[in-house]
Structure 1
Amino acid sequence: MSQSVSKADKKARKSELRETIVVIVEALLIALVFRTFLYQPFSIPTGSMQSTLMIGDYFLASKFTWGFGKYSFPLPLPFNGRLLAFGEPQRGEIAVFRNEITGEDYIKRVIGLPGDTIRMQQGRLYINGAVVPREQIGTAEDADSTGRTVPVTVYRETLPGGVTHIIQEISDNEYLDNTSEYRVPAGHYFMMGDNRDRSADSRVLNQVGYVPFGNFIGKAEVRFFSIRNNIAPWLLWEWPANVRWDRMFQPVHS
């Protein structure tokens, strides 16, 4: 009798272990499908998109909005173009893309569409020869990833098509405030950060340059977490003094 019970216990334990493994594998597969085809989480390590996206913000990017490119998957696939692309990026949208020059994922705002001309002159953005309107709405202090703080002027900028968003400028005479004219090639986009004087973007051709549509990963949609000083989110004891509660579960506005 004792031996019979022992065999039954062993069989039950094996069955429970097998069920646990199945549940774990199923959960991992669901997470993989969610991340690959629906939404992928990202964090913000630098200040190039402040104040729209702050250092320490965590957000979800939709993977399906513009279809799937070679960098949409956990491992890059050897093809160009996009699969199931029912739409294209619009001016003013915020996108995650792979910068093939650095091998890193960047997040910037779509400023120039294929065929557009872009130029910066005395801090003002020109698209297709016309200056983009901006309105000063205040001043602020901007801190970069090293903690270095500088005063900035805050503007509300209105892009062609009507998308209005907030930008920051240290001044109108910084490194990338006066450029030659860029002409965006077919199938490419011109990307810029909202923190104009602290953003390496398409204005730097040998560091970012024009971004092929096939390199887009997803469209920024919603912040789900935000913490100051880029503190790791699992340090729960740091939350009370550092979590930005007012930025959580908020859409990433254009």
Structure 2
Amino acid sequence: MAATEKKSGGILETIKTVVYALLIAGIFRSLFFQPFWIPSGSMKDTLLIGDFLFVNKMAYGYSYASCPTVIVGVLGINVDAGDICGWADGDNTRLFGNEPERGDVVVFRHPVTGRDFIKRVIGMPGDKVQVKQGLVYINGTPVKVEPDGTFVEVAEPQGPQRLSPRCENGPVGHGGACNKSKFIETLPNGRSHSILNIGNQPSDNTSVYSVPEGHFFFMGDNRDNSSDSRVPNIVNGVGFVPFENLIGRADRVMFSSAGTSMLYFWTWRSDRFFKAIQ
């Protein structure tokens, strides 16, 4: 009898330990840092498919979007932040809130689908943003852009989703050199970052967007391969993003893998480990 009680007690202690560990991990993820894998090429060459980073949730304070979203398809788990903290949604405010700076790379919840997106802040509340011939204008003034050579990658499927890159010199055969023109864009506050160009398309010429108060205008650095605020969210774009939808700021790439799994050590990009995000 004593042995049975000891065994059941050991199992109970193990369960309690696991539960406590999960609670601590959930609190840490909710309050401080959230892991994020880069699934697409919309932020090249700042962020590459397979980059892994931690999102700093303390940077902008807390809202309902700060609660974790947990999706594990193979286990049928799909817990949305709104399911946990939806009671705090709707007033577009934040606890200990700080606005992002123009040029920050931010993870946010899509205003309609709720999925996590990562883009760069281009337009602040009250700004007027327009793109003309691929050049961004903020409040009527074009941003400074300087040529910075060519971004070259291999024309082959990338990452777990096996996404093939678009090329300025396309079509390119499998294994060929896929080129994009590279530029350094400098925003009005002096923040500079790399952007890529593939070719002329409708998103290179837009109407004037007037950013509402309490909202932000986001764009991807891979300008011709990004679904962002240039496209209204009612037509599968992003549109203006409410302040409360911000999750946190991306500051540094911690790990990077070019393969379909992080276990394939021969695909690791060691030159990107702990790389600061500009």
Fold agreement, TM-score > 0.5 = yes
Identity of aligned residues (%): 44
Q: CA deviation at 1:141?
A: 3.0
Q: Is 2:92–2:214's contact at 8 Å kept on the other side of the alignment?
A: no
Say whether 1:232 aligns with 2:261: yes
Distance 1:98 1:18 in 2: 38
What are the ranges of 5 or more consecutive residues in structure 1 without an aligned counterpart?
A: 1-6
Distance 2:163 2:95 in 1: 40
Alignment of 1:200-215 (within 5 A): 200-205=227-232, 206=235, 207-215=237-245
Which residue number in structure 2 is paired with residue 164 of structure 1? 192
Q: Please tell me the residue identity of whatever aligns with 2:254.
A: F
Q: CA deviation at 1:36?
A: 0.7
Distance 1:163 1:52 in 2: 14
Q: Is 1:66–1:85's contact at 8 Å kept on the other side of the alignment?
A: yes
Which residue number in structure 1 is paired with residue 118 of structure 2? 107
Q: CA deviation at 1:220?
A: 1.0
What SS is found at the alignment partner of 1:176?
helix
Q: Which has the larger radius of gyration?
A: 1
Q: Is 1:156–1:166's contact at 8 Å kept on the other side of the alignment?
A: yes
Deviates more, 1:214-223 or 1:43-52: 214-223
What SS is found at the alignment partner of 2:251?
strand
Q: CA deviation at 1:153?
A: 0.6
Q: 1:88 aligns with which of 80, 93, 99?
A: 99
Q: CA deviation at 1:149?
A: 4.1
Q: Is 1:67–1:82's contact at 8 Å kept on the other side of the alignment?
A: no
Say whether 1:141 aligns with 2:152: yes
Say whether 1:187 aligns with 2:214: yes
Say whether 1:30 aligns with 2:60: no
Q: Is 2:181–2:197's contact at 8 Å kept on the other side of the alignment?
A: yes
What SS is found at the alignment partner of 2:66?
coil
Output the aligned Cα RMSD.
1.7
Q: Provide, for residues 142-191 of structure 1, a one-character-per-residue CA deviation record: whole Å limited to 9, x for no partner.
A: 567522441211011110111011100113x3221111111101111000
What SS is found at the alignment partner of 1:196?
coil
Q: Is 2:45–2:151's contact at 8 Å kept on the other side of the alignment?
A: no
Say whether 1:219 aligns with 2:236: no
What SS is found at the alignment partner of 2:11?
helix
Q: Is 1:188–1:213's contact at 8 Å kept on the other side of the alignment?
A: yes
Q: Is 1:141–1:149's contact at 8 Å kept on the other side of the alignment?
A: no
Deviates more, 1:82-91 or 1:129-138: 82-91
Which residue number in structure 2 is paired with residue 155 of structure 1? 183
Which residue number in structure 1 is paired with residue 45 of structure 2? 51
Q: Please tell me the residue identity of whatever aligns with 1:134.
A: V
Q: How many residue pairs were aligned?
A: 241
Q: What TM-score do you get using the length of structure 1 for normalisation?
A: 0.89
Distance 2:164 2:248 in 1: 29
What are the ranges of 5 or more consecutive residues in structure 2 without an aligned counterpart?
A: 69-80, 168-178
Q: What TM-score do you get using the length of structure 2 for normalisation?
A: 0.81
Q: Is 2:130–2:137's contact at 8 Å kept on the other side of the alignment?
A: yes
What SS is found at the alignment partner of 1:106?
strand
Q: CA deviation at 1:84?
A: 2.0
Alignment of 1:57-96 (within 5 A): 57-74=51-68, 75-76=81-82, 77-78=86-87, 79=89, 80-96=91-107
Q: CA deviation at 1:67?
A: 1.3
